[in-house]
């Protein structure tokens, strides 16, 4: 992925920041070529490049579909939804319109059948409203959904489509969306005033989300966020594992199957390790053969830097190098030891 333009000067990209930005924006780790290209370059340049890419918007849609649980058999197939990433990337539509298309898709309707479920989900997931605390609001929405005239969120309507329109056009929808994004990107709660200001920006311009992310990525809050580590989602874990081991993303089918397998467990940690071993032993990875490793210390240092985004301690390096020197130890097992470190599935 080539850089777009140099807008200002940011910190130099070390492995930690590089991996974090890729995961924050694309839900995957960087490929070998991307690491090679970006290491030591300007972090702001990478931020601008990633947020301008089609892949960023494709990932945006995937995250939103997962948020609305529109996955597997409920995954939308309509062109109106599938075109969202390219239209967002091209600046033809904004976030509000993208959310509207999702809510109007037949998949969303199938996923949330009936007045109660549909209206509850609209209020809870788009506006962050706890319907148990606002039963009359829910009843108003259900009235419209059932085809009866009425007032809802300050507007009038009498159809399911009107429920969607009034929710999506409500200023609270973009505020709530930004609150979710802030929580995920900066790992803190956004002040209400800030949300109000930014949601107005988001409502005005189709390119506003990109500029907001670029601001956040340059902020002190992002620097603070880099000091924290959080567990990867199963999707991000799967995608990163494939990139780290095979230098390519899994196919959509592989990604879906692995995510479904991991999502089925309350604690997917051990099963993630099993997945890593399956992949390592499958013969599809780019792990070099023992004889091809000319400098074991350098190779292990590079593995730590790439997978754990830190350098090994001397004790770690000694343990790993001496283990690799043993004829019983395959390079895959060295990689596996690092992949099963609790820090690997975090970012």
Examine residue 69 and tell whether it contacts other proteins (CB under 8 A): yes
Torsion sign over Cα 50, 56, 57, 60:
negative
Answer for the pair 23, 347: CB distance below 8 angstroms, yes or no: yes
Only segment of 10-18, 92-100, 115-123, 290-298 that touches other proteins (CB under 8 A): 115-123
Count the residues in the chain: 347
Which positions from 34 to 63 touch other proteins by CB under 8 A, shown as an x/- string? -----------------------------x
Distance from chain centroid for Cα 167: 25
The contacts of residue 347 (CB under 8 Å, 6+ apart) are 19, 20, 23, 24, 229, 230, 232, 236
Query: What are the structure tokens assigned to 138, written together?
Result: 């829910």
Quote the CA–CA distance of 150 and 273 in Å, as a whole number. Answer: 54
Examine residue 241 and tell whether it contacts other proteins (CB under 8 A): no
Quote the CA–CA distance of 287 and 281 in Å, as a whole number. Answer: 10
* Interacting positions 253-292 with other proteins (CB under 8 A): 254, 257-258, 260-261, 263-271, 273-275, 277-282, 284
- DSSP code for 340: T
Closer residue to other proteins, CB minimum distance, 45 or 316: 316
Examine residue 340 and tell whether it contacts other proteins (CB under 8 A): yes
Examine residue 188 and tell whether it contacts other proteins (CB under 8 A): no
Only segment of 7-15, 83-91, 196-204, 313-321 that touches other proteins (CB under 8 A): 313-321
Examine residue 112 and tell whether it contacts other proteins (CB under 8 A): yes
Q: From the CB of 69, what's the least distance to other proteins, in Å? A: 6
Answer for the pair 2, 53: CB distance below 8 angstroms, yes or no: no
Quote the CA–CA distance of 59 and 7 in Å, as a whole number. Answer: 24
List residues near other proteins by CB under 8 A: 63, 66-67, 69, 112, 117, 120-121, 124-125, 180, 183-184, 187, 230-231, 233-234, 254, 257-258, 260-261, 263-271, 273-275, 277-282, 284, 315-316, 318-320, 323, 326, 328-330, 333-334, 336-338, 340-342, 345
């Amino acid at each position: 992925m080539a850089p777009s333009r140099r807008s200002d000067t940011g910190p130099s990209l070390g492995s930690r920041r590089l991996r974090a930005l890729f995961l924050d924006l694309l839900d995957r780790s960087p490929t070998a070529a991307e690491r090679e290209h970006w290491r030591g370059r300007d972090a702001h340049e990478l931020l601008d490049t990633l947020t301008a890419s089609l892949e960023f918007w494709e990932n945006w849609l995937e995250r939103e579909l997962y948020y609305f649980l529109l996955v597997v058999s409920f995954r939308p197939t309509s062109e109106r939804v599938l075109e969202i990433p390219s239209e967002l990337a091209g600046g033809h539509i904004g976030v509000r319109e993208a959310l509207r298309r999702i809510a109007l898709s037949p998949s969303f309707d199938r996923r949330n059948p009936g007045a109660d479920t549909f209206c509850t989900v609209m209020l809870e997931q788009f506006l962050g409203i706890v319907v148990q605390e606002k039963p009359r609001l829910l009843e108003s929405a259900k009235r419209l959904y059932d085809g009866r005239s009425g007032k809802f969120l300050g507007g009038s309507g009498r159809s399911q489509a009107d429920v969607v329109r009034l929710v999506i056009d409500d200023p609270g929808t973009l505020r709530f969306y930004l609150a979710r994004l802030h929580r995920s990107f900066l790992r803190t709660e956004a002040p209400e005033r800030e949300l109000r200001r930014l949601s107005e920006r988001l409502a005005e311009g189709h390119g506003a989300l990109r500029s907001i992310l670029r601001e956040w990525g340059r902020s002190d809050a992002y620097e603070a966020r880099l000091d924290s580590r959080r567990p990867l989602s199963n999707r991000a874990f799967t995608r990163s594992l494939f990139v780290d081991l095979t230098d390519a993303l899994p196919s959509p089918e592989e990604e879906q199957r692995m995510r479904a397998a991991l999502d089925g467990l309350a604690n997917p940690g051990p099963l993630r390790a099993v997945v890593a071993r399956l992949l390592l032993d499958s013969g599809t990875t780019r792990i070099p053969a023992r004889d091809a490793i000319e400098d074991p210390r350098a190779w292990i240092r590079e593995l730590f830097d790439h997978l754990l985004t830190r350098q090994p301690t001397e004790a770690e390096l000694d343990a790993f190098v001496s283990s690799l020197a043993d004829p019983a130890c395959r390079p895959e097992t060295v990689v596996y030891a690092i992949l099963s470190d609790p820090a690997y599935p975090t970012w």
